Structure 1
Amino acid sequence: MAKQTAGRDNLGEFSPQFAALNDDVLFGEVWDREKQLSLRDRSLITVASLLTQGVPQLEAHLTIAKQNGVTKEEIVELITHLAFYAGWPKAWSAFNLAKEIFDESE
């Protein structure tokens, strides 16, 4: 996984400690533990969590999931499954994002 700099890029001057925790701990140390859990599996878990919360970070993590080898079919199944647990409107929103990101014409 590429070195994460979103924390420093977006919040580095305003909240340097939070930015460092985001980039160095969350994406540096936690996501780097691939022997314990693959990037692909971490992506599936993260997308599922963000979908249930209905937060805007879902879009970025759908893109990361695709980069980490999650397939369109897996994302469709994940969203369909979670629709019954997280709510239909959240699933609709997630499907709209996933359609853009996993568009097979790319």
Structure 2
Amino acid sequence: MTDALELDALWEDFHRVVNMTSQELAAWLRVRDADERAEPPPGDTGTPTGEHVLAILQKRRVDLTDDDVRVMYEVVDTVDAQAGRENGPEGEDTAGRRRLMTIGHDPLRP
């Protein structure tokens, strides 16, 4: 498991990049799943991670598992790597924005 200082920093980073509430993320995942049943995008496996992010948002820091910590690092790294790319004028409905929203980050929010 990660040491306490590292976990504190990760907790802060995770909540910085996950800028959707648990209610917003849950609603987005429901809508996204409904859309994907009609025509699933090839190779897109964001929903299991999104569900895990949702579960993490509903936990206290002391209740995190090693798997939660792994997903938190993955989400922070993904959002930090993608953040600047999705803010263009057409960002309203891009595939990149939808992918990031699947893990709880809406790039159109400040």
Bigger relative contact order (CA 8 A; separation at least 6): 2
TM over 0.5, shorter chain? no
The alignment's TM-score, normalised by the length of structure 2, stands at 0.31
Q: TM-score, normalised by structure 1?
A: 0.32
